[in-house]
Structure formats: structure tokens, C-alpha cells
């Protein structure tokens, strides 16, 4: 999608967990505000989730229709729900993401590009990837209204947490149609 085709004033409101029609209506470049419950997980937690799936053991949360935010938040200051909560580089979860999508994951939030295998899994399993504002952890934390560690507390900031978010600002970076905002953005400026 070219910059001219985007209406940058339009914002889509989404609630979790996602239904199939939620992801079908999303296209790269689309601005979104996300509301509801999402889960945090980085590479160490992803490895454990994949091990549970492979062992046919129950997961710490029902993956169906859920969204995972790739974040390791800082400790909360007094009176705050959470500390800075900026996205981490998503490529570190690429080895694990396809299996999680196969098991119902419908959305991922992070920063940076995804591998060809992950983009193909998004098409196959009908999931999307959102880009969050990198370097703005305090801004992203404003959208988090509650946070609770639900698994692997020994991982510290990389534990799995259940977050309730309100109006979290995101941009669709990869959609179920195989489109990639990073790739199309570069092409639109190529000489």
C-alpha cells in the first residue's frame, strides 16, 4: 500500500481476543488502538511455551485469539501500574512464533522486521504483526491499566504478564495477505 493510499487520520479500534474478522480487516500501514487483555513474552518465555506445546502440556493462558507483546517492562515506580514498556526486537521470537500462531495466536506486537517464515505463517494461520513505538517505553506504558505476572516469575522482566490495555497505539506492519510495511515502505522511496 502506498503512502497515498493510506488515510493517516483514520484509526481502527480493536478489542482482544481477536475474532477471525478482526484480522481480515487489517492491512499494512493501518493505525490501530488496541483495548483489552494482551500478554507479554520475550524469547525465554517463548522457548518455554514451545516446550509446553511440544510436550502437549497446558499453557499458562489460552492462546486462541490472543495477542503477545514482546516487552520486558522496567519495574513500576510507586503509584504506577508498570514501568517503561517499550517493544523489544521481534526477530528474537521468530523461531517460536509460527508454532504459537498454529496454536491460536492472532497478534504480535514488537519492533523491527520479521523473517520470511514468520510472514508466511501469518498468512497461513491468519495472524498479524503490529509495530509499536520503539524508544518510547513511557508513552507505551500509559496505555497499560493493569499488569499481573501469570507465569515464570523467575524470569524477572521477561516473565509472562497479563496486561489490560486501553487505546494502545500501534501500526499494522504485516497482515494476513502477505504484505510487509517495512518492505513496501522501502520500495516507495527507492529511486
Own/partner long-range contacts of 112-117 (Cβ < 8 Å, ≥24 apart): 113/180, 113/182, 114/90, 114/173, 114/174, 114/180, 115/91
Query: Strand 144-151 and strand 128-131: pairing?
Result: unpaired
- The predicted-structure confidence for 73-109, as pLDDT tens digits, reads as follows 999 999 999 999 999 999 999 999 999 999 999 999 9
8 Å CB contact between 110 and 88: yes
Any catalytic annotation for residue 46?
Answer: yes
As a whole-number percent, the residues of the chain with pLDDT over 90 amount to 84
Active-site position among 46, 106, 114, 119: 46
- The predicted-structure confidence for 29-77, as pLDDT tens digits, reads as follows 999 999 999 999 999 999 999 999 999 999 999 999 999 999 999 999 9
Query: Strand 107-110 and strand 128-131: pairing?
Result: parallel
Determine, yes or no, domain membership for 2. no
Determine, yes or no, domain membership for 7. no
Nearest to 81 by CA among 143, 154, 134: 143
- CATH number, domain containing residue 28: 3.20.130.10
Is this structure's pTM higher than 0.85? Answer: yes
Give the chain's mean pLDDT: 92
Number of domains composing the chain: 1
Determine, yes or no, domain membership for 4. no
- The predicted-structure confidence for 116-166, as pLDDT tens digits, reads as follows 999 999 999 999 999 998 778 888 999 999 999 999 999 999 999 999 999
Q: How does residue 186 score in pLDDT terms, banded at 50, 70 and 90?
A: low
Determine, yes or no, domain membership for 1. no
Q: What are the start-end ranges of the H helices in the chain? A: 20-24, 43-54, 97-102, 116-125, 137-141, 181-189
Boundaries of domain holding 95: 12-189
Amino acid at each position: 500500500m502506498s503512502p497515498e493510499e493510506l488515510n493517516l487520520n483514520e484509526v481502527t479500534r480493536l478489542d482482544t481476543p481477536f475474532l477471525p474478522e478482526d484480522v481480515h480487516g487489517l492491512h499494512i500501514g493501518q493505525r490501530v488502538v488496541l483495548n483489552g487483555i494482551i500478554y507479554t513474552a520475550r524469547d525465554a518465555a517463548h522457548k518455554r511455551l514451545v516446550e509446553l506445546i511440544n510436550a502437549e502440556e497446558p499453557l499458562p493462558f489460552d492462546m486462541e485469539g490472543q495477542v503477545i507483546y514482546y516487552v520486558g517492562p522496567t519495574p513500576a515506580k510507586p503509584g504506577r501500574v508498570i514501568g517503561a514498556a517499550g517493544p523489544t526486537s521481534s526477530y528474537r521470537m521468530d523461531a517460536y512464533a509460527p508454532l504459537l500462531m498454529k496454536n491460536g495466536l492472532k497478534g504480535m506486537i514488537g519492533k523491527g522486521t520479521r523473517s520470511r517464515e514468520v510472514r508466511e505463517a501469518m498468512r497461513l494461520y491468519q495472524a498479524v504483526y503490529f509495530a509499536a513505538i520503539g524508544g518510547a517505553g513511557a508513552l507505551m506504558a500509559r496505555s497499560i491499566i493493569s499488569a499481573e505476572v501469570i507465569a515464570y516469575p523467575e524470569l524477572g522482566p521477561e516473565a509472562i504478564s497479563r496486561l489490560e490495555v486501553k487505546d494502545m497505539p500501534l501500526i499494522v506492519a504485516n497482515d494476513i495477505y502477505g504484505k510487509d510495511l517495512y518492505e513496501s515502505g522501502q520500495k516507495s522511496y527507492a529511486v
